[in-house]
Amino acid sequence: MDYHPTTIQSNERPWSDALAVVLLLLAILLFPITWPISQLWRYYRLKSRGYDVTREGRDAIEYQELCNGKVRRLTIAGEMIMKRPHVIYVPTEAEWQEWMPSWAQGRREEIVEKVKRALGNKKYEFVLS
């Protein structure tokens, strides 16, 4: 009796595994190039405008400001909601004075306006408490 092992192959998409491997290799090889470029772009925005706004984690927004060569940071809470704009919860004036760093005290309107300008209103909804 002859024994011939058989393999089962799917003819649906024989190239999909190879494509996944190629894309993974490209991501691994290009990461050392793209990450420093993105950091340089963030630094350029911070230097040219004097401030920058980025996402921190999944929900929060981080506002960064350049002052006397040092970067000041504050975090504003948010919430990512499926199929809706990302919600940013802006604290009330009293909460702002209590929670935010001393350099941001009394600057709520200015900072919120800069965050709105940087993020836009298309993908973000601002809830003013």
pLDDT one-digit tens code per residue, 84-127: 888 999 999 999 999 999 999 999 999 999 999 998 888 888 98
Shared domain check, 55 and 44:
no
9 pLDDT higher than 80: no
Shared domain check, 43 and 56:
no
Q: Is 59 among the domain residues?
A: yes
Shared domain check, 125 and 84:
yes
Shared domain check, 58 and 44:
no
Provide the number of structural domains found in the chain: 2
Q: Is 4 among the domain residues?
A: no
Q: How far apart are CA 32 and CA 30, in angstroms?
A: 6
**Residue numbers of the domain that contains 43:** 15-49
pLDDT digits (tens, 9 = 90+) for 44-79: 888 888 999 998 888 899 999 998 889 999 999 999
1 pLDDT higher than 70: no
Q: Is 8 among the domain residues?
A: no
Cβ-based burial of 8 (10 A; exposed 0-12, middle 13-18, buried ≥19): exposed
What count of Cα atoms within 13 Å lies in the side-chain half-sphere of residue 15? 2
Predicted TM-score (pTM) of the model is 0.70
Give CA angle at 98 (62, 85), nearest 5°: 40
